């Protein structure tokens, strides 16, 4: 990448970050102004303000982490991890949130002995981000299936739901930083989760692909080398 290209990328990224931070900051300012009005419910307003601070903190954390990944400060593929216990742990940990969102989680492990060329923390991060994406956007009544299987040339880690999906033209863009399809724009989230997944998987020599469309759910397939 030339210096000119890098500068253009840095400028665009800075502009995107600034834009993403403006929304929670504007909501936080509105909450604080409302708190000064007579009869304001201070307890409720403080709770909402806290939620905005949490959202901003998560956004900053994701931005810093993605920056570390891109600068190779965070080693992704260092040894291998037995995948099944990690998947079970993540699914169990997110089951309550999924239930509250009306989403059913299923886990299909075809081979208990499968190992993935990712550090445990990186594998956990990938699965958490994929499931949290489904919890936010699949919709009530949907089922999300996490699959671990051996395939030709490597190992498949797939998270697929039969929910509302995204417009066909948006599916190829889901891994872009801060990109949100129609429904996602009205939902909380940093817009970086899938970008982080893509970077981690590709840094480990794997590939990631999104399939689906409006009313056809979303299927994210990650294939990692043996």
**pLDDT tens sequence across 121-153:** 889 889 999 999 999 889 999 999 999 999 988
Residue 36 main-chain phi, psi, to 5 deg: -85, -10
Q: Is the pLDDT of residue 166 over 80?
A: yes
Average pLDDT of the chain? 82
Place 18 in a pLDDT band, splitting at 50, 70 and 90: low
Is 199 found in the same domain as 127? yes
Spatial contact of 28 and 139, defined as CB atoms under 8 Å apart: no
> What are the tens digits of pLDDT across the range 35-48?
888 888 989 888 88
DSSP conformational letter for 123: H
Name the band, by pLDDT with cuts 50, 70 and 90, for residue 185: very low
If asked whether residues 50 and 122 sit together in one domain, one would say no
In a domain, 26, yes or no: yes
pLDDT exceeds cutoff 70 at 154: yes
Query: What total of structural domains would you count in the chain?
Result: 2
Domain check: are 98 and 161 in the same one? yes
Are residues 119 and 17 part of one domain? no
Residue 153: give its domain's CATH number. 3.30.565.10
Structure tokens at 44: 């409720």
Query: Within this chain, do residues 91 and 48 fall inside the same structural domain, yes or no?
Result: no
Q: Is residue 76 part of a domain?
A: no
Is there a contact between 218 and 172 (Cβ–Cβ < 8 Å)? no
* Helices marked H in 71-211: 83-100, 120-137, 193-203
Tokens of 128: 């958490």
Tell whether 106 and 217 lie within a shared domain: yes
55 falls within a domain: yes
> Is the model's pLDDT at 7 over the cut of 90?
no
Q: In sequence order, what are the residues at sequence separation of 6 or more whose Cβ sits closer than 8 angstroms to the Cβ of residue 126? A: 118, 157, 197, 200, 201, 222
Domain of residue 13, residue span: 3-70
Q: Indicate whether 118 belongs to any domain.
A: yes
């Amino acid at each position: 990448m030339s210096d000119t290209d890098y500068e253009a990328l840095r400028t665009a990224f800075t502009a995107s970050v600034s834009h993403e931070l403006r929304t929670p900051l504007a909501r936080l300012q509105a909450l604080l102004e409302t708190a000064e009005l007579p009869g304001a419910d201070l307890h409720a307003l403080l709770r909402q303000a806290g939620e905005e601070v949490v959202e901003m903190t998560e956004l900053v954390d994701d931005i810093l982490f993605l920056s570390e990944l891109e600068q190779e400060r965070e080693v992704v593929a260092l040894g291998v991890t037995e995948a099944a216990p990690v998947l079970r742990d993540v699914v169990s940990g997110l089951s309550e949130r999924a239930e509250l969102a009306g989403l059913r989680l299923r886990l299909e492990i075809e081979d208990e002995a499968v190992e993935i060329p990712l550090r445990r923390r990186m594998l956990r991060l990938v699965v958490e981000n994929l499931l949290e994406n489904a919890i936010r956007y699949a919709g009530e009544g949907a089922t999300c299936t996490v699959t671990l299987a051996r395939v030709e040339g490597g190992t498949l880690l797939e998270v697929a739901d039969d929910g509302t999906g995204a417009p066909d033209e948006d599916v190829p863009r889901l891994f872009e930083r801060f990109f949100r399809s129609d429904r996602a724009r009205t939902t909380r989230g940093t817009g970086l989760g899938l970008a982080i997944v893509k970077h981690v998987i590709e840094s480990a020599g794997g590939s990631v692909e999104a399939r689906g469309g409006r009313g056809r759910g979303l299927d994210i397939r990650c294939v990692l080398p043996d």
